[in-house]
A = this chain, B = another copy of it.
Amino acid sequence: MYGYTQAKALVYSKYGEPKDVLSLHKHSISAPHGTQVNLRLLTAPMNPADVNQIQGVYPSKPPFQTLLGTAEPSAVGGNEGAFEVIATGANVKTLTKGDWVIMRRTGLGTWRTHAQLDESQLIRIENKDGLTPLQVGTVSVNPVTAYRMIRDFCEWDWMRAGEEWMIQNGANSGVGRAAIQLCREWGIKSLNVVRERKTHEETEALKKELKELGATAVVTEGEMMTSGFKDTVAELTRQGREPIRLALNCVGGKNATAMAKTLAPDSHMVTYGAMSKQPVALPSGLLIFKNLSFDGFWVSRWGDKNPVLKENTINDVLQMTRSGRFKDIPVDKVEWKWNLEGPQLAEAVQGTLGGYRSGKGVFTFTGGDE
């Protein structure tokens, strides 16, 4: 049918486990009118928050709609991804065929082979030639989270390059790896906490890998929990002359408390995740006498409130990426071939929350426009 593009989207119409509620919906997309833009998926990652959203336990819930012609009102899964422009409406001014774009806001649904959105919903990637779809498709959540937490929660401009520290747990995560590299670029030393791997060799390999990314020091959670860790911190920070000013926490529980204890007076801990499912327990003395501050960061909310700054942040990270100063995260690629069935795709999503995946799950789409 002339002017129509065949599309498939991974949708859900009720909350639950991805493998139970996700299904593949086939539909067609008309030629774009006015400011509409037709897109083809390049790469879309599976972030833990995407799964929480499908489970219904995430506070940001996309509306269930019938715009794609689903039998039940549905939402498309996924919150970030890189798309290629395949056609533009007559009034589209800033995009042309072949451009790469990402979605301006979360919640629009990225797990789909094709999409039709309005020009205003898209951010054009400048100078895409030095970039890969993976780099563009994973820039807007994890790197932006790391970037803003480091820049916005301590008196960043006052930090003395090479003489002040950041500590973080979950240092092996997408956010953690981004934080390591940003700290390296910005002259902040980083003390990185990772969970023990299955074998000592794997743990040592991970430490080495993170140090190669720019980590100043890497310790395991178990090492942090020993009483001797105080001395390790004293040695690393030259008896506190190089203060730890910022903690990034995605674990919670005792891990977070142990990190808080390493902080210098007047420092900040920012929580952006809760992998342990335990609350952050704050001995009152840390609040009152050390004057520590505890905040949270949620990139979706932040981005919606600060659209311009978000775009600038993304451009800054992509510039670092082009110049080789920001490395790709390890990924587990799931090739979304046109004929792949819903259950196979849903199974890939289901695996996201395991935590020990060898890399972030990402859909890549290379199929043509059927």
Contacts and interface: CB of A to CB of B under 8 A. Distances in A.
A297 B59 CA distance: 31
A288 B286 CA distance: 20
Contacts of A295: 287, 291-294
Given A293-B293, A293-B294, A293-B295, A280 B288 contact: no
Interface string A62-75: 00000000000000
A78 to B, nearest CB: 19
A59 B285 contact: yes
Contacts of A272: 288
A309 B158 CA distance: 24
A252 B288 CA distance: 12
A293 B153 CA distance: 11
Nearest to A281: B279
Contact of A280 (B59, B274, B284, B301): B284
Contacts of A289: 59, 296, 298, 301
How many copies of this chain sit in the oligomeric assembly?
Answer: 2
Contacts of A284: 252, 271, 273-274, 279-280, 296
Nearest to A282: B280
A58 to B, nearest CB: 8
Contacts of A301: 289, 291
A283 interface: yes
A331 to B, nearest CB: 25
A355 to B, nearest CB: 16
Given A273-B284, A287-B295, A291-B301, 15 more contacts: A59-B285, A252-B284, A271-B287, A273-B288, A274-B284, A274-B288, A280-B281, A280-B282, A282-B282, A287-B296, A288-B297, A289-B298, A291-B298, A292-B296, A293-B294
Interface of A: 59, 252, 257, 271-274, 279-298, 301
21 contacts: A271-B282, A271-B284, A271-B288, A272-B288, A274-B284, A274-B285, A279-B283, A280-B281, A282-B282, A282-B294, A284-B296, A287-B294, A288-B297, A288-B298, A289-B301, A291-B296, A291-B301, A292-B295, A292-B296, A293-B293, A293-B295
